[in-house]
Amino acid sequence: MKIAVCIKQVPSREWQPRLDERRTWIREQDASYEMNEPDAYALEEGLRLKEKHGGEVVVCSAGPGRVAQVIREALARGADRAIHVGDEALGSADASVVADALASAMADEQFDLVLTGLQSDDQGYAQTGVILAERLGLPHATIVIEVQAGDGTLRVKRELEGGWFQWVTMPMPALLTIQSGINQLRYATLKGIMAAKRKEIRTVPAPAGAGPRQEIVGLYVPEKSKKTHMISGSPAEAAKELVRRLREDARVIQ
């Protein structure tokens, strides 16, 4: 089975965001980066499917040169080789542009299965995988929490709202967006880190003419504020007023 896993490099959760001068993106030169967590679960699922069915796992990523950090990490965890669509502008591109870049690089590979994370930790569109499936002409399923691969078919379990689940049978090749927590993540071993240095990373340019479909006009860091309300009266009156404020003002109860 030939499996592609799309990964993204995102600012680490511990880093305090700082906006650039135009206040339309972060100061990338100040940020620390890590692998997008949902993509890490997609990678783990791809590696488990390879161990069960054979084949290879190819990591695909679009972004500036710094993306090589998470590509090497994925190779150290067990991926066989990587494709890097290199372009500085892809670091802050929208889902459509990123999907176009990945589709252009992946089109000739003829993957049996393409896995992506459900969404990214930075922009959180949850659209890159869906658009990529359209660009590659593949059937897709989203929010997948279990994958069973058979002879040319997939049976996948999707997470729905309200604690409900859905089983879907679909043909291969296909694309799945993987939900975080689907499995237990592995870590790179010393042997894997050393082996990653010898694995192939093929760098390709971004396709020409892929324009953005949306524009960020402004960003701001939410302000933290505190406000104290004193409730007077008897215990019964105070309790009644507290319930009213929680229901009507805070809207945390019905």
> Rounded distance, CA 125 to CA 112, Å?
25
Both tokens of 83, joined, read: 């494709």
Q: What is the pTM of this model?
A: 0.84
Full DSSP string of 101-142 = HHHHHHGGG--SEEEEESS-SSS----HHHHHHHHHT--EEE
Q: What is the pLDDT of residue 197?
A: 94
Q: What is the pLDDT of residues 126-146, one digit of tens each?
A: 999 999 999 999 999 999 999
All structural domains of the chain:
2-205 (3.40.50.620), 224-254 (no CATH)
Q: Could you give the C-alpha distances from 219 to 24, 74, 172, in angstroms and in order? A: 5, 31, 41
Q: Is the peptide bond preceding residue 173 cis, with omega within 30 degrees of 0?
A: yes
Q: What is the pLDDT of residues 38-77, one digit of tens each?
A: 999 999 999 999 999 999 999 999 999 999 999 999 999 9
